[in-house]
Structure 1
Amino acid sequence: MKQQFKRFLTAILLATLMLTGCASETSTKSEPKTNEVAKEKKTENKNKEENKKTQTAQQKTPNKETPAPVTTTPTTSFSLASIPAYSGKPYVAVNDNKPFFPNNLSNKPFESYSNLDQLGRCGVATACITKALMPTTKRGSIATVKPSGWQTVRYEVVGKGSSGYLYNRCHLIGYQLTGENANVKNLITGTRYLNIEGMLPFENMVTDYIKETNQPVYYRVTPIFDGNNLVASGVLMEAKSLADNGASILFNVFCYNVQPGVNINYVNGTSSVANTSNASSKQQAQTTKQAKSTPQPKQNTPVTASYIGNKNTRKFHRGDCRMVARMSQSNKVTFNNRDSAVSQGYNPCKICNP
């Protein structure tokens, strides 16, 4: 019995030792797993904190590879307030007669016209004019176009042309330059005085230059409206000859949309005859000023002075006119005097005024 009892105790002890060993082994093996999970969680939390810091830094600092869009503002501007009141001259120089053009102008022929605004008014018209853009046929009818503020009426004070009608359908860029006919984006309500006395001399000057030199001219005309007026107060005309950087053609002028002897309501285009006495005095003053400003032939110029005509353009020039140097030799013809040139159908140059 004693031996059996000893064996029983021995068996119990062995079983106890085995169970203790297993528990110890299990505990030993599970500790690394617990530590590893804890380390992973710690690393994950650290990564999250770093990501948050990175995102915050990126929000504060713009990405250098995708810079924000840059907006540009015009470097030049025109203000109607800077233009003096009309005083008898059809136009006045602006910005020392230098156009508000940017640098590096394109010399390729093009023409561009602004869409009409909400009031039906024209906007800026721009072109690089070359011989290729000029018309080869006569202008067609433009009677179907009625620009903003079109309320034309006949007045005796308007004088000759258009049967005394106050308004013309004025091309911003003249037909002789680009051949635009009844283009509603290129026609404004303008007085005959604006059309003939103000704009036409500059249009003729550019036309003559291009025909005689076959060189491009950058050209822009902007109708200037005061507030919501339907009739423009005038037009800003700018031009520059590109081949010689403006040596031949360079101007920036504001042409007044007025008619001597007529009061114009620029809001809607209605009009009325001005006070007779005031109109007469203004017209007389205007005539005097124009006579003084018109170049007169020099008194000491000999009658036999030679003039150079251009067979292609049918214009004649003084011998020292810069247009003569640019003229093809085959197109030149010499006249002994001015009357001879006129009698043969040649018109005086608008640059040298022979």
Structure 2
Amino acid sequence: MNKKTIRKLAGIITVLIIAAGGWFANESGFADSFFTQQVSSVSSESIPEYEGKLYAEVNNNTPDFTETDRELLSTPGYEYYSALDSLGRAGAAEACVGEETMPEGERESIGMIKPSGWHTVKYEFVDGKYLYNRCHLLGWQLTGENANEENFITGTRQFNVEGMLPFENEVAEYIKETGNHVSMRVTPVYEGSDLLASGVLMEAQSVEDSGLMFSVFVFNVEDGVAIDYSNGDSYAE
């Protein structure tokens, strides 16, 4: 059993203890709420319109964590990945990230992962040529999750590198500098039955202090490319 698995089990055990304690303290259902937990969905109507900037602050840049969310997301080792839906789409992913969840080795291949809406397509003007990346919801540098299909969506190169990565780096740098933990949730947002997410809501807040906090929507777009979000088709504008 590797160290990461041990850390996850420790986190699960701790959460189960919290849930059990909540049940005995209040039989109306803290434990029930845990075992039937639904990661909060995000309505597309609550997302701002894209106006040329890759991200927009949401809820005054403050995560919308409930008290139950905060209890779970302050438990070291806790990680949760939504099951793929009937269309094969990834849902919300959340974790309490810290030094113990960060990877110890090199990232393994993820080439076998084909998230919903995936196409292998190139444009000469796109950085690296390939339009789409396999985008981690919770960044590999934070959780060490390799080929977990529940942690991937199809995203443009610009969305991945210029949109999500700076916020992931901010969290990683904070953890390395302080040794503290960060409650983090990333929720992909789809319009109707679209296979390609319009973007993701990234929420993060430091646990031990007030040193880090953000709530932003990152748009899944690429300059110069028109995208059909229903199936991932695209063409140069």
TM superposition score category, shorter chain reference = 0.7 to 0.9
Runs of 5+ consecutive residues of structure 2 not aligned to the other structure = 1-26
SS at match of 2:125: helix
User: In structure 1, how many angstroms separate the alpha carbons of the residues matched to 2:176 and 2:99?
Assistant: 7
Q: How much does 1:77 deviate? A: 6.5
Structure 1 moving runs of 4+ over 4 Å: 67-72
The correspondence of residues 195-206 of structure 1 with structure 2, limited to 5 A, is 195-206=160-171
User: In structure 2, how many angstroms separate the alpha carbons of the residues matched to 1:238 and 1:134?
Assistant: 18
User: In structure 1, how many angstroms separate the alpha carbons of the residues matched to 2:75 and 2:208?
Assistant: 8
Residues 130 and 216 in structure 1, CA contact (< 8 A), matched pair in contact too: yes
TM-score, normalising length: structure 1: 0.54
Query: Which is helix-richer, 1 or 2?
Result: 1
Q: RMSD of the TM alignment (CA)?
A: 2.2
Q: How much does 1:84 deviate? A: 2.9
Largest Rg, 1 or 2: 1
Q: Cα 1:68–1:94, aligned 2, differ >3 Å: closer, same or farther?
A: closer
User: In structure 2, how many angstroms separate the alpha carbons of the residues matched to 1:197 and 1:183?
Assistant: 23
User: In structure 2, how many angstroms separate the alpha carbons of the residues matched to 1:113 and 1:107?
Assistant: 15
User: In structure 1, how many angstroms separate the alpha carbons of the residues matched to 2:200 and 2:28?
Assistant: 38
Q: How much does 1:108 deviate? A: 2.4
SS at match of 2:154: strand
The correspondence of residues 40-79 of structure 1 with structure 2, limited to 5 A, is 78-79=42-43
The correspondence of residues 149-228 of structure 1 with structure 2, limited to 5 A, is 149-158=117-126, 160=127, 163-228=128-193
**Matched residue count:** 202
SS at match of 1:196: helix
Q: What letter corresponds to residue 155 of structure 1 in structure 2?
A: Y
The correspondence of residues 1-354 of structure 1 with structure 2, limited to 5 A, is 78-103=42-67, 104-105=70-71, 106-158=74-126, 160=127, 163-244=128-209, 247-274=210-237
Residues 90 and 152 in structure 2, CA contact (< 8 A), matched pair in contact too: yes
Residues 43 and 189 in structure 2, CA contact (< 8 A), matched pair in contact too: no
User: In structure 2, how many angstroms separate the alpha carbons of the residues matched to 1:126 and 1:108?
Assistant: 12
Q: Cα 1:114–1:69, aligned 2, differ >3 Å: closer, same or farther?
A: closer
Residues 129 and 217 in structure 1, CA contact (< 8 A), matched pair in contact too: yes
User: In structure 2, how many angstroms separate the alpha carbons of the residues matched to 1:185 and 1:177?
Assistant: 16
Q: How much does 1:69 deviate? A: 8.3
Q: How much does 1:268 deviate? A: 0.5
Q: Cα 1:77–1:268, aligned 2, differ >3 Å: closer, same or farther?
A: closer
User: In structure 2, how many angstroms separate the alpha carbons of the residues matched to 1:210 and 1:108?
Assistant: 13
User: In structure 2, how many angstroms separate the alpha carbons of the residues matched to 1:84 and 1:152?
Assistant: 29
Q: What letter corresponds to residue 60 of structure 2 in structure 1?
A: D
User: In structure 2, how many angstroms separate the alpha carbons of the residues matched to 1:149 and 1:256?
Assistant: 16
Runs of 5+ consecutive residues of structure 1 not aligned to the other structure = 1-66, 275-354
Q: Cα 1:202–1:68, aligned 2, differ >3 Å: closer, same or farther?
A: closer
TM-score, normalising length: structure 2: 0.80
User: In structure 2, how many angstroms separate the alpha carbons of the residues matched to 1:211 and 1:124?
Assistant: 25
